[in-house]
Structure 1
Amino acid sequence: MNQAIANLASEADRAEALQLQLEAGETIVELDPKVIHGSFVKDRLDGFTDPKFIELREGLKTSEQIIPVLVRPHPDIKGEYQLAFGHRRVEALRQLGRKVKAIVRNLSDEDLILAQGKENTDRADLSFIEKALFALRLDQQGVRRQVIMDALTITSKGVLSGMISLASSLPTELIEAIGSAPSIGRPRWETFAQLLADPSHESTWRELIRQEQFHALSSDARFERTLKSVAVRKEKVSDEQIIKTGEGRKIATAQSSKRAVKLTIPTKHTGEFAQFLLRKLPDIYEEFAASAANTTSDNE
């Protein structure tokens, strides 16, 4: 009930803002979704498959689009437009085969970013990781830090730097596979990043995100599943032991757990040694067994 009231209040605020825009002389036009392109910086992770989008699209089936989207003339394609905000409304109307009500405004890149960020902040529906990744992408585009702070309503440069640093430390492919994870805040993403700093975990999460059942989970559940898989692997595997020659050249690595010892020999430079070792393993074991038997006999 409280959320419903909040949504109504938010819609009322946007309707009031729209009225002010119209009074200021801005007009609403109807555009074909085919000529509307997304912002030059992506801010959402869940795309157009999550329940909120489905709810929006179903609602538009039986009602008019009340709040117009904001676009600017496309900087590179004459006669077409680029979105500042309203990506979900445009996609929903595209799927329904309807035109989009839009306000066309001349915007600089910074103006577009500020409008895009403000809309998301007003709706309070970007998750922590979406904000962090959005900030990283803007930073990589060369957008001034102050503009990023204004767009995301962040007042501390340290907080912004921390968000950008955290997002840059995580594999983007993995973040996009997990999605927005709306219930997961900064502390747990930091814990996740610390675990993933160990490159040996990469094979674990890559195998996980290839599984169909992984993508059938909710975004929060995908985060939990990946975190658990990486954490369990860390508990099972001890510190890696590097095996070197007398001259200091690395020839193998060994990882020990309660169940097994895993010996890894790179085949690029030591492939022949690996084959030699495989042939010699039976002899080595026989030598070990004989030595163990002698030791037991001596102790009796």
Structure 2
Amino acid sequence: MSWQMINLRRPLEFRYYSRDKNCSGNYSFGAKSAIVQPLNYNAPEQIRLAYGDQTDHMLVSYVTNSSEYAPECQYAYGGMGVAPAQPGSKSTVDRVRAQVSTNNITCILHIGDISYARGIGALRNAFMIHTNPITSHVPYMVGIGNHEYDHITGGDKDPSGALGPEGFPSIMLIVGPHRPMYSSIVRNVGDPIKDMLQKSLEPMFYQYHVDINLFTHIQSYERSCPMYQGQCIDDGITHALIGMAGHNLDFDTYTGAKWSVYHDQQFDYTQISVNRTHLHYSYHRNVDDAVVDHFDLTK
């Protein structure tokens, strides 16, 4: 007999009782185990609940505060949309769904440009159905992109002029503001919002030791070295453009910036595995789940 015990908070002793083969009479004590107790009484410390795909089904996961426990795993991407309008989104959902159903995935991060509904309610509903195989199993965290700000009037521009939230703290410090702070794709050269982000937010990110800056908006993938103010440095911020979840890709040339470690233009997704002291980031192709870019961080 074997089982897995979660969230043990007190010392525990197992005892074995039996009675005759006819299952009658009183139970008699047979044996007892050694005392079982947690390795770390401080973990797990936080419970997450998610509804399953049945009305009487709920999933429970625990977040720990200890490097002794298995890491949290999460997937991150942006710029998805809904198939068939954005046909690449189906391959991303299919791949992530397969991973969620078989691996210890604790949450999904969708960094803006979610459904591209542009005020059309039917497309929002279609997106919810599209992602239901994922959202019915794990928490699905979203950030606001420019295509969410225009939910009333439609269109491609952000009428508020706002930059969006800088959220998604994890055990390592990760932010997800949607708009790119860095991109070496030619179309992004001279972008005033990019320049404003570098001027207004990058010093604060560096001051508070942000580890990874995830953003989308441009439909492609690019990852930087740890950097600050355009220069690779040991304690810098790693920037990752992850806008390749399904919307039509932006095919363009690159400037050859020295800080750009890897870039491509295909439909893919990223995975982040993290505990209190270590983070592993990997970038996977939709077509075969092959890892084509990865890095590790340690604190």
Q: TM-score, normalised by structure 1?
A: 0.25
Q: TM-score, normalised by structure 2?
A: 0.25
More strand by share: 2
Structure number, greater radius of gyration: 1
